[in-house]
Structure 1
Amino acid sequence: MKKISFIGAGNMAYAMADALFNGSKESTIGVYDIDSNRVKLFLNSFNTAVEYPSIKSLADSSDIVILAVKPQIIDIVLADLVDCNKIVVSIAAGISLESLVEKLPKAFVTRVMPNTPSLVGEMAAGVSFSKTMSEKQKSDVLSFLNYSGMAIEVEDESMDAVTGISGSGPAFAARIMNHFINAGIDQGLDSQTSRKLALNTFLGTAKLLLEKDMEIEELIKMVSSPGGTTVAGREILESSNIEKIIKETVIATVKRSKELGGK
């Protein structure tokens, strides 16, 4: 039985712990956080959860340590883990694998950029491993992550880009969906009907592209009958600067991720 423990008990940590608890009967959960209310949430939600009085005691008792703290305070936490020789998984935005390895010389370090759809088991995450990790250790980390959704191994240099696409992406996607919902309301739909139609359209579109391994342009062509309604709408959409806006949105996100990592 593996003990997977969380330093930091915020929303992302909770989502990943929830996926682990519901998906694995062979793992127990540890938690440390200075916010007692967040710790209580873990203890009340997961009957295998154990609270630790310190970062060091948590690390000593765990097989995998999840660093789920804000990047602004991560150095304080790393100082307490300098002698840790366990698998350490960081989900802190902007903190490079190289920096983590340098500050945790005895640990087997992984960097992950998860996202909030892990709350429903649909996470899309990038993951990069330190060179000291064995294939078995990598497999253990991926098994943990897969309870929350999907994890793709990438080079650490690409992790800021992952942040821009999938880490922050749910907020951007939700904003666009909200515009569709409001447009439906403007055209006479009630709010609940417009919401269900819009959200399930985005969900179904993504599922179709993934499950049928379909090219995006192929799907666009499939929906676009000559002279039809979709073509009329596309003329407005494609004549706008939406592509430029989305690219600039991702660029700003990547830039901030690099700033958080001191790049």
Structure 2
Amino acid sequence: MAAGRLISLLATLFLSVSLLLLWFTLLSGITSTSPLRQTYFLRADTSGITGARGISQWTYFRICGIDNTDCGPARPGLPLGDAWATDADNVPRELIGSYGGGTTSYQYWYLWRFGWVFYLIALFFMTCAFLGSWLACLGRLGAGLIATVSSVGLLFLSVAVALMTATFVKTRNAFIADGRNADLGAYGFGFSWGSWAAMFIATVLYCVARRGHASDGVGRTNKRWSGSTFGRRKSSGTAGSRRSWDGRRVKDEYA
């Protein structure tokens, strides 16, 4: 199997892993089965806050209780302050504000809002790259096209994961500064950053595959050129021998 094709298949494998981990991230809170039951971005002590659970876990579509149970309604782009009531008491001052129906400060509203949008854009480009990944096995042009689409997907995924990380690390710190227990979700962060790492490797491999296809093409061209040259030399040598033999026979007949 040509090097370019083999590398393209390996890149598609990493792209598949990246998509799988991203779906685990996005579907957190939808069901109570593993590993989605353990997937959340932040768990914090929200006891004593107006309208909040004793323990709140932030997932992609919902705010849930412990082990992603007792979840609120699923909806896209929910505000960070959806865990408590409007103008709630005892919320860390940094987190509450006039956004999201009087539940969230402008900084956390936009941090998580834009992070959510970039996740969706990244998912779109990653899916396009996966559906067209077979083109990367056909030649240099196909590998270059998929490498470009993967690069765009990687760019948006990088921004999404960075914004998610900033949002919930800052939120955790705000809860801790307020004297409350809070910790980041190992599964949520692990799936997100694992998806980014696999996507990065896939993008690099698609770029390498493009060069691999180019090298394969040069090798085939050189082989064809060498074969044709050898054939011409062999033919020339045979013709020369024939002419030489014909010449000697003519001389012998006239001798």
Q: TM-score range by the shorter chain?
A: under 0.3
Considering fraction of residues, name the structure with more strand. 1
Compute the TM-score of the two structures, normalised by the length of structure 1: 0.23
Larger Rg: 2
Compute the TM-score of the two structures, normalised by the length of structure 2: 0.24
Structure with the greater relative contact order (CA < 8 A, sep ≥ 6): 1 or 2? 2
